[in-house]
């Protein structure tokens, strides 16, 4: 290996004796960048400082990329003209695509975009390891890819490739390009298991240091296949968990890429993302009362159009019309709005904000109760409401708002189902133990819903049969528009 | 096991712990921007992608260098811009629906926030 190659690898064991002043500075900049990432994430703990956090993190990123550029220029002797062109062209093309999608994406499509970024991040991490392996395996008279680097290489390719195809499928499902319903075919579990065995087998083979490029290709193909077969059977309703999990995978893949090329900032950044993704995965799974293995195995979650036969609207529930609902709302002192995915699906965020503003103008205290899994990714509903100009001081987390329900005159539930079902407090059913919003503690409850259809757990919602509850059967957008109009004419 | 690997593992383990500590304090209201921010951070793989150029000298190397750089650059650029766009929407009160956002202007990120303002304006 050439001297410059050794230096670029920033071999920690060599720092004292062999790292040049230049490489030392680069290393220090990487450490500073890692610190910016940590502080940036720390500042995300409040909406007041979050933007500064993002800017700090971006500044760290710019410094790290600039340092890497400097490194390329410093060691330019080994770079061919084509090498420069492809890397620069890649950066230009990639940046343009990233910039365009980031500026044009609708907030409802956020989960897809995050999924796509997971895909490209995981893919790039896998390529870094593939390139390193090919380089070492084909270099004349080079040592074989052995020992610890081989472990990181195998893990990087495995996780990166699974993330790449898995995230693409997840994005396709969210976008509706791939059916959101769980897709399975006869023998799908067998295929899945077979791919897993081949994938793990090839990875272990590589780890022993005796693998060659053919083994790497087998690993790559099996991992890509596994990513597809892993996500296909997972239903649309489980997407918040899947995205979080793939996010954690991407982070881990990037950290492994850091091990492969011995770069500290990749290791730190990857570990941070791995931690973030893992926490969110756990939170989402808990909030949905699902275990992560159960979701990965699939078959329980259904698509967006929740399963379960719709029972008749007359079966012991009371309905309400726009005028009565408007009177209840307008003469209330405190109204808590409970938005669910149905609200986002109907694109009714602006309508709900219009109604809320009318009520506030009447002196009603309006807040929003946000369940952790409302939306298609962690925290999604907050972003959708923020976009509709709802101030964040009105957005309340579950634990914060639950004690307030007994004081609420009206709880207005829009397109949320399982997360409001009091059955969760009793043992012995599918959602037992699931954290719910205590909507039934409110003095009166109005539920806006298209039909009596079940939530994705396929359970009857006991809330709807509560004597305090009235149902408003309509699409969320229409219902809210009608209520707002009624509030205006009746009391405005 | 080499010394450098041990120091790498140390970095990894400590970073994981720092990550758990820092991220568990983020309120669920900001979980979508958080995930998006974490997404941008793993775009650091761009550094690794660029270094491929150091040794690329055949078609395969060039293809890998191009694809990895493009993927990672999309990740970095898109991640930061979209996170900025989202965070900008979190307002205290709706009285000032447009431009006059109170947030201090960007540090090393001016272009990003300027662009997101344009998009936000044209969408509303």
DSSP string, B98-123: SS---SPPPSS-HHHHHHHHHHHHHH
CA distance A380 to chain B (A): 6
Q: Are A21 and B18 within 8 A, CB to CB?
A: no
The catalytically annotated residue of A418, A438, A440, A466 is A418
Q: Specify the length of chain B in residues.
A: 124
- pLDDT by residue for chain A (492 residues), tens only, comes to 344 444 445 554 444 456 788 989 999 999 999 999 999 999 999 999 999 999 999 999 999 999 999 999 998 888 888 999 999 999 999 999 999 999 999 998 999 999 999 999 999 999 999 999 888 877 665 555 556 678 899 999 999 999 999 999 999 988 888 877 777 777 777 888 899 999 999 999 988 877 788 999 999 999 999 999 988 888 777 888 899 999 999 999 999 999 999 899 999 999 999 999 999 999 888 888 878 887 777 644 443 333 333 444 446 788 888 888 999 999 999 999 999 888 887 888 899 999 999 999 989 999 999 998 888 888 899 999 999 989 999 999 999 999 999 999 999 999 888 889 898 888 877 788 888 999 999 999 999 988 777 766 667 888 888 889 999 988 889 999 999 999 988 765
- d(Cα A34, Cα A267) in Å, to the nearest integer? 9
Give pLDDT tens digits for A171-183: 998 888 887 777 7
- Tokens for A224, please give them: 């890509």
- d(Cα A116, Cα A231) in Å, to the nearest integer? 14
- d(Cα A56, Cα A35) in Å, to the nearest integer? 10
Q: Are B30 and A283 within 8 A, CB to CB?
A: no
Phi, psi (deg, nearest 5) at residue A369: -100, 115
Contacts of B38 in chain A (CB under 8 A): 41, 247, 251, 272-273, 276-277
Please indicate whether, in this complex, the C-beta atoms of A8 and B71 are within 8 angstroms of each other.
no
Please indicate whether, in this complex, the C-beta atoms of B84 and A51 are within 8 angstroms of each other.
yes
Q: How far is Cα of residue B113 from the mean position of the Cα atoms in its chain?
A: 14
Please indicate whether, in this complex, the C-beta atoms of A55 and B90 are within 8 angstroms of each other.
no
Please indicate whether, in this complex, the C-beta atoms of B8 and A5 are within 8 angstroms of each other.
no
Alpha helices in A13-146 (DSSP H): 15-18, 21-43, 50-74, 81-104, 110-138
In chain B, where the domains are located: 26-90
CA distance A375 to chain B (A): 10
């Amino acid at each position: 290996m050439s001297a410059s190659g050794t230096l670029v690898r920033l071999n920690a064991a060599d720092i004292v004796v062999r790292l040049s002043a230049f490489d030392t500075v680069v290393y220090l900049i990487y450490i500073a960048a890692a610190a910016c990432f940590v502080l940036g994430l720390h500042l995300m703990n409040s909406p007041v400082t979050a933007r500064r956090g993002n800017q700090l993190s971006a500044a760290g990123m710019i410094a790290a990329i600039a340092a890497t550029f400097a490194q390329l220029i410093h060691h330019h002797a080994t770079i061919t003209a084509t090498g420069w062109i492809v890397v620069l062209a890649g950066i230009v093309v990639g940046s343009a695509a990233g910039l365009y999608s980031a500026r044009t994406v609708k907030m409802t499509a956020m989960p897809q975009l995050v999924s796509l970024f997971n895909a490209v991040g995981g893919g790039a991490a896998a390529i870094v390891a593939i390139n390193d392996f090919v380089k070492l395996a084909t270099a004349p008279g080079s040592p074989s890819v052995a020992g610890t680097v081989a472990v990181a290489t195998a893990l990087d390719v495995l996780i990166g490739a699974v993330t790449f195809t898995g995230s693409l499928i997840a994005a396709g499902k969210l976008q509706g390009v791939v059916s959101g319903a769980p897709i399975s075919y006869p023998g799908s579990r067998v295929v899945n298991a077979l791919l897993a065995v081949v994938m793990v087998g090839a990875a272990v083979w590589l780890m022993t240091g005796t693998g060659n490029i053919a083994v790497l290709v087998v690993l790559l193909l099996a991992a890509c296949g596994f990513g597809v077969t892993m996500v296909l059977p997972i239903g649309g309703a489980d997407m918040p968990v899947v995205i979080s999990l793939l996010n954690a995978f991407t982070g881990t893949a990037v950290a492994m890429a850091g091990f492969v090329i011995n770069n500290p900032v990749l290791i730190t950044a990857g570990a941070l993302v791995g931690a973030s993704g893992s926490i969110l995965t756990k939170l989402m799974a808990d909030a949905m009362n699902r275990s992560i293995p159960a979701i990965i195995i699939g078959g329980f979650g259904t698509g967006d159009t929740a399963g379960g036969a719709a029972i008749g609207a007359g079966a012991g529930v009371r309905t309400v019309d726009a005028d009565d609902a408007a009177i209840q709302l307008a003469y209330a002192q405190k109204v808590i709005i409970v938005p669910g995915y149905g609200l986002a699906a109907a694109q009714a965020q602006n309508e709900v904000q219009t109604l809320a503003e009318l009520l506030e103008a009447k002196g009603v205290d309006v807040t929003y109760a946000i369940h952790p899994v409302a939306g298609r990714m962690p925290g999604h509903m907050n972003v959708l409401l923020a976009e509709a100009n709802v101030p964040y001081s009105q957005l309340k987390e579950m634990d914060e708002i639950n004690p307030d329900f007994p004081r609420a005159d009206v709880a207005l539930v829009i397109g949320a189902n399982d997360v409001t079902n009091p059955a969760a407090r009793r043992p012995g059913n599918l959602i037992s133990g699931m954290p719910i919003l205590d909507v039934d503690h409110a003095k009166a409850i109005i539920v806006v819903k298209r039909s009596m259809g079940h939530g994705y757990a396929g359970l009857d919602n006991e809330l709807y049969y509560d004597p305090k509850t009235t149902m408003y059967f309509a699409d969320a957008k229409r219902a809210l528009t009608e209520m707002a109009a009624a509030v205006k004419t009746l009391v405005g | 096991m080499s010394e450098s690997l041990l120091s790498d593992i140390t970095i990894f383990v400590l970073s994981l712990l720092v990550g758990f500590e820092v991220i568990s304090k983020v309120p669920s209201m900001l979980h979508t921007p958080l995930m998006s921010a974490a997404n941008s951070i793993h775009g650091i793989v761009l550094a690794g992608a660029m270094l491929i150029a150091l040794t690329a000298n055949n078609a395969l190397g060039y293809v890998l260098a191009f694809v990895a750089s493009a993927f990672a650059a999309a990740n970095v650029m898109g991640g930061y811009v979209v996170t900025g766009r989202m965070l900008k929407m979190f307002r205290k009160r709706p009285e000032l629906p447009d431009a006059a956002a109170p947030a201090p202007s960007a540090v090393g990120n001016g272009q990003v926030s300027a662009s997101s303002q344009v998009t936000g304006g044209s969408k509303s």
